[in-house]
Amino acid sequence: MQQHGGKVKLKGVQPEHLTPILHKLEESGSIISTGKDYIRLEAPKRLKSVEIKTMPYPGFPTDMQSVFASALTTAKGTSLVIENIFENRYKYVNELRKMGAKITVEGKICVIKGTRRLYGANVDATDLRGGASLIVAALGAKGKTVVNNGQYILRGYEELDKKLNSLGAKIELRIT
């Protein structure tokens, strides 16, 4: 799916629970509007770089760190992700490099130099959130990506393939 940007409206959500994520999306160039139980997002063709520091609630959630970092691999400029909650949250980084991401890790700091595009590759999910980050990367990559160890992803994301396909993705789920 080479097209970046787009619009989506999420219903049945509580925007106040997602405030730090929504702020970072706005900072990266997305236009956000919210209501009592919905979020409307319009993403630019290419995100702008941002700095993320994970913190306990109500700060930026560590569970979103890898997915957001994945989206930043094609942002304009250099982004920083600082993981303050868990060690070893950057297991997905080597897999993103296989797709052409310019990303380095030094202790709890991840430096992401945005590149114009990622490329399809054969990658391995090592955990739930890291696997989700690989799917996010694959959605914007040129060519086909195969994410192995999908059972990690399915543990926490019900019918992810159907949900993303309803937004225009082309995901085929194979369980072996």
Average pLDDT over residues 141-161: 90
pLDDT of residue 87: 87
**Tens-digit pLDDT profile for residues 78-87:** 999 999 999 8
For residue 78, what are the contacts with CB-CB under 8 A and spacing of at least 6? 49, 111, 112, 113, 114
* Alpha-helix residue ranges (DSSP H) falling in the chain: 19-27, 62-72, 93-98, 128-140, 151-154, 160-165
Mean pLDDT of the chain: 93
Which pLDDT does position 173 carry in this prediction?
Answer: 72
Q: Which domains does the chain have, with CATH numbers?
A: 6-165 (3.65.10.10)
Instruction: Please state whether the predicted TM-score (pTM) of the whole model is above 0.85.
Output: yes
Percentage of the residues of the chain whose pLDDT score is greater than 70: 96
Distance from the Cα of residue 75 to its chain's centroid: 12
Give the pLDDT band of residue 161 (cuts 50, 70, 90): confident
Residue 139 has pLDDT above 60, yes or no: yes
Handedness of CA 49, 116, 94, 146 (dihedral sign): positive
pLDDT, position 175: 66
| Strand 31-34, strand 51-53: pairing | unpaired
pLDDT digits (tens, 9 = 90+) for 7-66: 999 999 999 999 999 999 999 999 999 999 999 999 999 999 999 999 999 999 999 999
β-strand 122-124 against 146-148: which pairing, if any?
Answer: parallel
